[in-house]
């Protein structure tokens, strides 16, 4: 008879099950049968960036929204019953948009009465920052194109928001996790990776990108040599010559991941002599964690490391099981 | 019919009183358009709060900050750019005697574009009088290209108009290829910045930049107005103009130089805003006649009003996001121009 594994766990270990960016589905009725102990623990442990789905939502969603844990909510109905519309849900729904990433609106930003405006180092955002600075607003312009710049940016944001201790804590966590990953990977052989940013026309990540840093931290090396462009378009000759052992493709849009994986495998099957295709090591990965330089950097590194060195992570899992 | 109408309006004497009246009416229209557009935006503001003056700390009186710090500079900038491009279009159509001539025909667009992408890729951070490095590079690129086109056109032979046009086309094509090459090797954020600039993008500028630009553009337009009656003679043809005692070479150099100067300033402030320099002169010519003494100031004023309205649409139609103003001028300007053409050429019965 197969051994039945217990699925019970301690609330304090909740971070093992629910990570930042996890998608939660919470059941129950309006105000009954809700897993409120878990909701309180999520808030206590400050697990943020969550996505959630609720058919009949109530206090649990209101609490998660109030604590700033939810980034995205899919729902059909939300209410506090006799207490009316959940105020934090309403606030989140009415939160103003301030334009787009490429075209922020100075008017909309002023209307939000910000204490601090954080912009990135490119023309459209710089132009808006300049006009707000002329009006006396406090501006912090950041350049985040490498992992080093990300760490500096976290420090700067900590200084400007007077949250230096939290910034230092986040930095220590990040660098600690990255160091642990290096120890775990040890002297594992570097795996040649071809990172696809666009399938048609074929465009890959070059060496002068943060994706290249990500690949190296995950125990790989970019199969593409030095190029003039950051994300060079490549032809069949380069594909065959690069000898990629693993192909990683960040998923496009919100389409079904399984379908995208299947499409990628069909697309790459025409280069059957490529080691990655021969060994069927083609991975379509969630773009959120691997294409954005942010505090979730480690999750991206771990995701890639699992694609490059599945044996190491499998061993780790087995060892953990044996210890248990 | 169009020709008869134009001939009639040429014959019709343009008195200074009539010109002054028309200019004043158009200025009043411009003032109304600017006022209306300044109160329209993504946020509702109260004029009472605007007149209450600035708060002591940022965010205390946001209505004042939005009106004075964001909308007013933008409306003024749009008016300046519209006036410069329309006046430049009038002059270039006259000296090149080509109805398809627009301010960018002699390579200004590609020269300025090359300057801009050079500034963006090199990441330079310095500028003059509070202007961004992009504006400085665009201005230098535009003026440098105009000089190159003029030099090639002048160097290659006597038939200067055709040579100028050919030199403009060749330089445009060459610089466009260089821009495409640089775009293909640039980082994605820099490519985006360049694309927005190429589509025409009006943003809020500092008062110092606006002040200097206003002085330069108004001086250029005034200088062009001073030679506008000679442009009338030039439209008869070079030989006829010479026969009537006009020094065509001097007039062409002066007109070309001033038109290029105000276009380069406009381009450095707002990127490549298309259509204004082409359709406004034609539209004004169709309605008021081809006399350059009238065509130049009226085109300037109506061009200003048109771009102010187009920019207001650009910043409100998909608010709080914004459209590049060049998209709006092309979408709104094209059909409007066709309407004018059909109405005044009396080819469409229901428009008669």
pLDDT tens-place string over residues A238-268 = 998 999 999 999 887 656 788 889 999 999 9
Whether residue A135 sits in one domain with residue A83: no
C-alpha to C-alpha distances, B65 to A170, B40, B72, B327, nearest whole angstrom? 36, 14, 10, 28
A2 falls within a domain? no
Using the predicted structure, report yes or no on whether residue A319 has a pLDDT greater than 80.
Answer: no
* CA–CA distance, A221 with A117 (Å, rounded to integer): 37
Q: Would you call B58 and A137 a contact, using CB atoms and an 8 Å cutoff?
A: yes
Q: Would you call B192 and A231 a contact, using CB atoms and an 8 Å cutoff?
A: no
Using the predicted structure, report yes or no on whether residue A49 has a pLDDT greater than 70.
Answer: yes
A99 falls within a domain? no
Whether residue A110 sits in one domain with residue A79: no
Give every CB contact of residue A306 below 8 A, 6+ residues apart in sequence.
A313
Instruction: Calculate what percentage of chain A has a pLDDT beyond 70.
Output: 95
Which of A94, A126, A146 is the C-terminal boundary of a domain? A94
- Buried (b) or exposed (e) across B314-337, using 16+ Cβ within 10 A? bbbeebbbbbbbbbbbbebbeeeb
Q: Which residues of B touch A127 (CB under 8 A)?
A: 132, 203-204
Across A294-301, average pLDDT: 90
B89 DSSP β-pair partners:
none
At residue B348, the pLDDT reads 46
Give the torsion through C-alpha atoms of A300, A305, A306, A309, to 10 deg: 170
Whether residue A307 sits in one domain with residue A211: yes
A1 falls within a domain? no
Instruction: Calculate what percentage of chain B has a pLDDT beyond 90.
Output: 38
Please give the biggest Cα pair distance in chain A: 74
Q: Would you call B66 and A96 a contact, using CB atoms and an 8 Å cutoff?
A: no
Cβ-in-10-Å burial (0-12, 13-18, 19+) of A152 comes to: middle
Q: Would you call A111 and B66 a contact, using CB atoms and an 8 Å cutoff?
A: yes
C-alpha to C-alpha distances, A174 to A210, A297, A298, B82, nearest whole angstrom? 16, 8, 7, 52
A283 DSSP β-pair partners:
A248
Give every CB contact of residue A291 below 8 A, 6+ residues apart in sequence.
A211, A250
- Taking CA–CA distances from B320, the nearest residue in chain A reads A99
Whether residue A80 sits in one domain with residue A142: no
User: Per mean pLDDT, which range of A56-60, B12-16, B311-315 is the poorest?
Assistant: B12-16
Return the DSSP state at A82.
G
Give every CB contact of residue B54 below 8 A, 6+ residues apart in sequence.
B60, B61, B64, B65, B68
* CA–CA distance, B328 with B345 (Å, rounded to integer): 25
Q: Which residues of B touch A134 (CB under 8 A)?
A: 69, 206
Q: CB-CB: which of B58, B184, B190 is closest to A136?
A: B58
Q: Measure B322 CA to nearest chain A CA, in Å.
A: 6
Between residues 1 and 30 of chain A, which touch chain B (CB distance below 8 Å)? none
Which of A94, A122, A145 is the C-terminal boundary of a domain? A94
Note whether B88 and B257 are within 8 A (CB): no
A246 DSSP β-pair partners:
A193
Higher-confidence residue of B343 and B69: namely: B69
The CATH number of whichever domain residue B146 belongs to comes to 1.10.3470.10
Question: What are A84's two structure tokens?
Answer: 């009316």
pLDDT tens-digit profile of B100-130? 788 888 888 889 889 988 888 887 766 665 5
Using the predicted structure, report yes or no on whether residue A321 has a pLDDT greater than 60.
Answer: no
Could you list the residue range(s) of the whole structural domain that residue A16 is in?
11-94
Higher-confidence residue of B274 and B72: namely: B72
Note whether B251 and B233 are within 8 A (CB): no
Which is it for the CA torsion A259, A260, A265, A268, positive or negative?
A: positive
Across A13-36, average pLDDT: 84
The CATH number of whichever domain residue A223 belongs to comes to 3.40.50.1980
The CATH number of whichever domain residue A61 belongs to comes to 3.40.1080.10
User: Which contacts of A199-202 are long-range, i.e. CB under 8 A and separated by 24 or more positions?
Assistant: A199/A249, A199/A252, A199/A264, A199/A267, A201/A233, A202/A233, A202/A234, A202/A235, A202/A239
Give every CB contact of residue A185 below 8 A, 6+ residues apart in sequence.
A218, A219, A305, A309, A312
* CA–CA distance, B151 with B146 (Å, rounded to integer): 8
* CA–CA distance, B136 with A193 (Å, rounded to integer): 43
Q: Measure A295 CA to nearest chain B CA, in Å.
A: 21
A100 falls within a domain? no
Q: Choose, out of A96, A111, A197, A292, the residue to mutate when testing the contact with B (most B CBs < 10 Å).
A: A111
Using the predicted structure, report yes or no on whether residue B311 has a pLDDT greater than 80.
Answer: yes
C-alpha to C-alpha distances, A143 to A83, A126, A138, nearest whole angstrom? 45, 11, 17
- Structural domain count of chain B: 1
* CA–CA distance, B80 with B306 (Å, rounded to integer): 11
CA triple B272-B275-B276, angle to 5 deg: 90
Pick the most confident of A19-28, A118-127, B78-87, B311-320: B78-87
At residue B79, the pLDDT reads 97
A120 DSSP β-pair partners:
A142
pLDDT tens-digit profile of A116-135? 999 988 778 888 898 899 99
Return the DSSP state at B203.
-
Q: CB-CB: which of B62, B185, B322 is closest to A111?
A: B62
At residue B12, the pLDDT reads 62
A45 falls within a domain? yes
Whether residue A68 sits in one domain with residue A148: no
pLDDT tens-digit profile of B258-275? 999 999 999 988 988 988
Whether residue A196 sits in one domain with residue A252: yes
Q: CB-CB: which of A114, A145, A229 is closest to B185?
A: A229
Note whether B142 and B112 are within 8 A (CB): yes
Whether residue A311 sits in one domain with residue A209: yes
Q: Measure B59 CA to nearest chain A CA, in Å.
A: 5
Count CB atoms within 10 A of the CB of residue B338: 12
* CA–CA distance, B60 with B66 (Å, rounded to integer): 12
Q: Would you call B69 and A134 a contact, using CB atoms and an 8 Å cutoff?
A: yes
Higher-confidence residue of B229 and B192: namely: B229
Which of A54, A69, A94 is the C-terminal boundary of a domain? A94
Whether residue A53 sits in one domain with residue A39: yes
pLDDT tens-digit profile of B132-175? 788 888 889 999 998 998 888 878 776 667 888 888 889 989 99
At residue A14, the pLDDT reads 87
* CA–CA distance, B110 with B170 (Å, rounded to integer): 11
Whether residue A150 sits in one domain with residue A56: no
Q: Is this model's pTM higher than 0.90 or not?
A: no
Q: Would you call B62 and A228 a contact, using CB atoms and an 8 Å cutoff?
A: no
- Structural domain count of chain A: 3
A268 falls within a domain? yes
Q: Which segments within chain A are labelled E, that is strand?
A: 23-25, 50-57, 70-78, 117-120, 139-142, 191-198, 203-204, 220-222, 246-250, 282-285
Whether residue A289 sits in one domain with residue A311: yes
Give the torsion through C-alpha atoms of B320, B321, B327, B331, to 10 deg: -50
Question: What are B75's two structure tokens?
Answer: 């409306």
A54 falls within a domain? yes
Across A50-79, average pLDDT: 87
Could you list the residue range(s) of the whole structural domain that residue B209 is in?
2-8+17-351
At residue B7, the pLDDT reads 47
Whether residue A121 sits in one domain with residue A69: no
Between residues 287 and 316 of chain A, which touch chain B (CB distance below 8 Å)? none
Half-sphere exposure in the Cβ direction for A235 (13 Å, CA): 1
At which residue do the structure tokens 């933008």 appear? B74
Q: Which bin fits B331, alpha (ψ -120 to 50), beta or left (φ > 0)?
A: alpha
Q: Measure A177 CA to nearest chain B CA, in Å.
A: 30
Q: Choose, out of A95, A97, A123, the residue to mutate when testing the contact with B (most B CBs < 10 Å).
A: A123
Task: Please check whether residue A183 touches B, CB under 8 A.
Answer: no
- Residue A117, classed as helix, strand or coil, is strand
Task: Please check whether residue A108 touches B, CB under 8 A.
Answer: yes
Kind and range of the H or E run holding A147 = helix A147-160
Count CB atoms within 10 A of the CB of residue B71: 23
């Amino acid at each position: 008879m197969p051994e039945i594994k217990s699925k019970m766990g301690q609330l304090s270990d909740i971070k093992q099950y629910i990570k930042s960016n996890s998608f939660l589905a919470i059941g129950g009725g309006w105000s009954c049968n809700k897993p409120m102990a878990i909701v309180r623990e999520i808030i206590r442990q400050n697990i943020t960036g969550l996505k959630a789905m609720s058919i009949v939502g109530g206090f649990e969603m209101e609490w998660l929204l109030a604590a700033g844990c939810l980034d995205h909510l899919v729902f059909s109905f939300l209410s506090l019953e006799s207490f009316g519309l959940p105020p934090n849900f309403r606030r989140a729904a009415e939160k103003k948009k301030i334009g787009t990433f490429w075209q922020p609106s100075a008017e909309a930003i002023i209307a939000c009465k910000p204490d601090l405006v954080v912009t990135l180092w490119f023309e459209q955002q710089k132009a808006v920052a300049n006009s707000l600075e002329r009006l006396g607003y406090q501006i912090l312009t950041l350049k985040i194109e490498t992992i080093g710049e990300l760490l500096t940016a976290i420090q700067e944001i900590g200084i400007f928001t007077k949250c230096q201790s939290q910034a230092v804590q986040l930095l220590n966590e990040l660098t600690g996790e990255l160091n642990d990953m290096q120890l775990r990977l040890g002297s594992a052989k570097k795996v040649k990776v071809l990172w696809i940013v666009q399938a048609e026309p074929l465009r890959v990540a070059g060496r002068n990108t943060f994706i290249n840093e990500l690949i190296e931290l995950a125990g790989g090396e970019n199969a593409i040599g030095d190029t003039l462009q950051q994300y060079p378009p490549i032809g069949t000759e380069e594909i065959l010559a690069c000898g990629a052992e693993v192909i990683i493709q960040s998923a496009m849009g919100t389409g079904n991941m399984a379908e995208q994986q299947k499409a990628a495998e069909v697309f790459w099957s025409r280069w059957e002599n490529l080691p990655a295709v021969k060994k069927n090591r083609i991975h379509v990965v969630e773009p959120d964690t691997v294409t954005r330089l942010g505090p979730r950097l480690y999750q991206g590194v771990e995701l890639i490391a699992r694609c490059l060195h599945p044996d190491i992570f499998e061993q780790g899992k087995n060892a953990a099981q044996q210890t248990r | 019919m169009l020709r008869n109408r134009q001939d009639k309006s040429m014959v019709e004497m343009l008195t200074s009183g009539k010109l002054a009246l028309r200019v004043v009416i158009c200025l009043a229209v411009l003032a109304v358009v600017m006022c209306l557009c300044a109160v329209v935006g993504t946020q509702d503001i109260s004029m009472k709060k605007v007149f209450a003056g600035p708060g002591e700390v940022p965010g205390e009186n946001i209505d004042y900050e939005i009106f004075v710090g964001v909308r007013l500079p933008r409306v003024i900038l749009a008016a300046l750019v519209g006036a410069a491009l329309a006046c430049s279009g009038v002059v270039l159509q006259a000296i090149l005697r080509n109805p398809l001539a627009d301010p960018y025909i002699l390579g200004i667009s590609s020269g300025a574009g090359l300057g801009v992408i050079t500034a963006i890729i090199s990441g330079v951070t310095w500028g003059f009088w509070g202007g961004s490095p992009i504006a400085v590079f665009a201005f230098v690129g535009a003026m440098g290209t105009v000089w190159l086109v003029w030099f090639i056109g002048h160097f290659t032979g006597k038939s200067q108009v055709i040579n100028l046009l050919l030199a403009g086309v060749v330089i445009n094509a060459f610089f466009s290829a260089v821009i495409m090459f640089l775009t293909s090797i640039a980082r994605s954020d820099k490519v985006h910045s360049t694309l927005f600039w190429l589509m025409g993008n009006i943003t809020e500028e500092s008062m110092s930049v606006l002040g200097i630009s206003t002085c330069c553009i108004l001086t250029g337009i005034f200088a062009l107005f001073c030679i506008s009656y000679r442009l009338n003679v030039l439209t008869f043809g070079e030989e006829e103009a010479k026969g009537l005692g006009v020094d065509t070479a001097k007039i062409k150099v002066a007109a070309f130089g001033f038109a290029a100067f105000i276009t380069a300033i406009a381009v450095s402030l707002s990127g490549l805003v298309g259509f204004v320099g082409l359709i406004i002169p034609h539209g004004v010519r169709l309605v008021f006649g081809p006399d350059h003494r009238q065509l130049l100031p009226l085109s300037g004023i109506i061009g200003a009003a048109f771009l102010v309205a187009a920019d207001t649409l650009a910043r409100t139609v998909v608010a709080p996001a914004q459209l590049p103003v060049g998209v709006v001028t092309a979408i709104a300007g094209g059909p409007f121009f066709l309407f004018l053409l059909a109405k005044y050429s009396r080819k469409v019965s229901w428009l008669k």
